Amino acid sequence: MVYYAQLIASIQRKRQRWLAALLPFKGGAARIILLAWLALAVPSAAQEVTPENTGGIAFGTQVVGRLNDAAPFAEYVFEGLRGDVVMVTLEVTGGDLDPLLTLVDTRGSLLAMRDDTSSDVPVGARGIRLESLRLPGTGVYRILVGRFGYGLGSTEGDYRLTLERVGASSESGSALRYGDSLINTITDSQPQLYYSFRARRGDIVSVQMHRVSGDLDPVLQVVNQNSFIIAQNDDVPGSGSQDAQITSLIIEQDGTYVIIASRYGQGAGRSTGSFVLTLEATDVSGLGSSVLAAIDIDIGDTVTGEVTGERYEQYYRFTGRQNDVITISMIRSGSASLDPALVLANAALQEIASNDDSFGTQNSTIESFTLPADGAYYIIATRYQRAGGTTSGGFMLELEAAGGGETFSGVPDGVLQLAYGSSISGAINDETPQILYSFQGNVGETVSVIMTRMDGNLDSRVSILDSQLRELTSDDDSGGDQNARIDRFVLPESGTYYIQASRFSGQALPTSGGFLLVLTQRFD
């Protein structure tokens, strides 16, 4: 495009001709003629020279500047979406500046141009306001702040420019942002309406279509960039066919998605009426921000992340096998203030291991942890005191294999291996006065072992032994009726443990009989 600098150069070259042409006119008439010429020149001005006084401006922000002979205009750019409804306000804050405000679309075409004779700024202020402008397409838009006459002008002064997005157009084809609401109507001639939105992987999205008039039976669909329907809904239970709602839709990949607002039967349907459509994202949207959008990680991977005041924990998910031994490390990056903390949870989100400080540092490590079962696990990378903490910063997270498949390598042949939640039956008699079982445990885990007599006169006794077969604790009849129970024993270290099922030996005649042994992990 030939830019506004070229426009000014053109005005300068024709200065004498224009001034002579305007001599027969007076006051407002001359101003209107010059403004009309500028309106014709700016969109065609186009395309090569960019003014030096440029910058970016975002929705909901303000910029300040000054125009004078050295800088008779300034340009600001912003990114808009099709259907964005915007308002641009220019306030003169100092000097005798006679402002001119112009908005140009992505193709270089003029959308609006006003001077202060058409202003509608707050009471007591002097300037210009462009209100309720609907952006025709998605792309980069340009705002030109100038003084009347540009290089030919003589006024100068300070200004404040504000850009606001006041909503989204209800017209079909508009692009929405999270938090937008709009109203439109389904008719026989318009049975389907389309709206797009941008989303990032991990966003958790909700869309609601609420009937406000007529007999409309709303239907909602969300379509991905490959034109596949990834979610749809007809009736919200209890709404009496007045609402359609898609809730907690997890976005699988970055891209642009389309909402189809329609009616039951779509083109063949018969219901009509107005509706309110609302698009929202949950507060925990974003990859890794919740268990629903956990970041996949494999054993052997190293990833980076960040803990902030707004997001104090990051979720990661991996798949493990029973008796895999893993180590998880969380190390803060650089000079960050972060005091890392780690939590490991099972597929049911029960926390099965945690660590705050390790090895005399503020870094966190869950070391040599044996996975109790096959399935999914979650790592929560957070900070000391989690939601109540105040530290923040980047971190490096590493998931390593510390062993696996060889966990029971030191267990004697013939010793059965148990997992938490196991139950097994057996019999104690003179030929088999005791039976040994093994299990893997982690430091700090709380376990219970119950040995219940099933027949005979067995007086049960049960013991927990360490990896060297040294007895750590035992019980004779805490389970009542000659049953044995070890309740809530806390494991002192990670590794292999043994359970010995036997009988009480203090009687003249040894007892015998069948039993049921149960090993459980306690979380209370």
The reply to whether 416-522 shares the fold of 175-281 is yes
Nearest to 362 by CA among 338, 379, 396: 338
Q: Does 397 score more than 90 pLDDT? A: yes
Of the two residues 362 and 189, the one the predictor is more confident about is: 189
- Per-residue confidence band for 472, with pLDDT thresholds at 50, 70 and 90: very high
Of the two residues 159 and 334, the one the predictor is more confident about is: 159
List pLDDT tens digits, range 504-520.
987 668 899 999 999 99
**Strand partners of residue 446:** 490, 522
pLDDT at site 27: 47
Cα-only R_g, the chain: 36
List pLDDT tens digits, range 195-238.
999 998 888 999 999 999 999 999 999 999 999 999 999 887 76
13-22, 75-84, 89-98, 114-123: range with lowest mean pLDDT: 13-22
410 CB-contact burial (10 Å; exposed 0-12 / middle 13-18 / buried 19+): exposed
pLDDT at site 107: 87
User: Does residue 480 come out as left (phi exceeding 0), alpha (psi in the -120 to 50 range) or beta?
Assistant: left
> Quick one: how many helices (H) and strands (E) in the chain?
3, 36
Q: Where are the beta strands (DSSP E) in 57-156?
A: 61-67, 73-80, 84-95, 99-104, 110-115, 126-134, 139-147
Amino acid identity of residue 34, one-letter, is L
Nearest to 354 by CA among 318, 363, 345, 513: 345
CATH assignment, 4-168:
2.60.120.380
pLDDT at site 436: 95
- Per-residue confidence band for 240, with pLDDT thresholds at 50, 70 and 90: low
Average pLDDT, the chain: 85
34-38, 93-97, 137-141, 518-522: range with lowest mean pLDDT: 34-38
Across 368-373, average pLDDT:
84
Nearest to 404 by CA among 316, 497, 480, 299: 299
List pLDDT tens digits, range 116-136.
655 455 545 688 999 889 999
Amino acid identity of residue 24, one-letter, is P
Give the Cα-Cα-Cα angle 340, 344, 345 (nearest 5 degrees). 140
What proportion of the chain, given as a percentage, has pLDDT over 90? 59
- Per-residue confidence band for 41, with pLDDT thresholds at 50, 70 and 90: very low
DSSP string for residues in 318-341: EEE-TT-EEEEEEEE-TT----EE
- Per-residue confidence band for 324, with pLDDT thresholds at 50, 70 and 90: confident
- Per-residue confidence band for 430, with pLDDT thresholds at 50, 70 and 90: very high
Give the Cα-Cα-Cα angle 354, 317, 233 (nearest 5 degrees). 125
Give the contacts of 414 (CB within 8 A, at least 6 positions apart).
Answer: none
CATH assignment, 175-281:
2.60.120.380
Alpha-carbon gap, residue 165 to 379, rounded angstroms: 39
CATH architecture of 294-403: Sandwich (2.60)
Q: How many residues are given for the chain?
A: 524
Which helix (H) or strand (E) covers residue 34, if one does? helix 27-45
- Per-residue confidence band for 47, with pLDDT thresholds at 50, 70 and 90: very low
- Say if pTM beats, i.e. exceeds, 0.75: no
pLDDT at site 494: 86
Tokens of 154: 């003589």
Q: Which sequence spans correspond to the domains of the chain? A: 4-168, 175-281, 294-403, 416-522
**Strand partners of residue 484:** 451
State in words which class domain 416-522 has.
mainly beta
pLDDT at site 335: 78
Determine how many CB atoms are found less than 10 A away from the CB of residue 519.
Answer: 22
Give the contacts of 124 (CB within 8 A, at least 6 positions apart).
Answer: none
Determine how many CB atoms are found less than 10 A away from the CB of residue 64.
Answer: 11
Q: CB–CB of 269/215 below 8 Å?
A: no
Q: Which residue has the tokens 């929202």?
A: 280
* HSE toward the beta carbon, residue 147, CA cutoff 13 A: 23
What proportion of the chain, given as a percentage, has pLDDT over 70? 85
Q: Does 413 score more than 50 pLDDT? A: yes
Across 261-282, average pLDDT:
94
Give the contacts of 405 (CB within 8 A, at least 6 positions apart).
Answer: 323, 324
| Strand duo 229-233 + 314-320: pairing | unpaired
Q: Does 392 score more than 90 pLDDT? A: yes
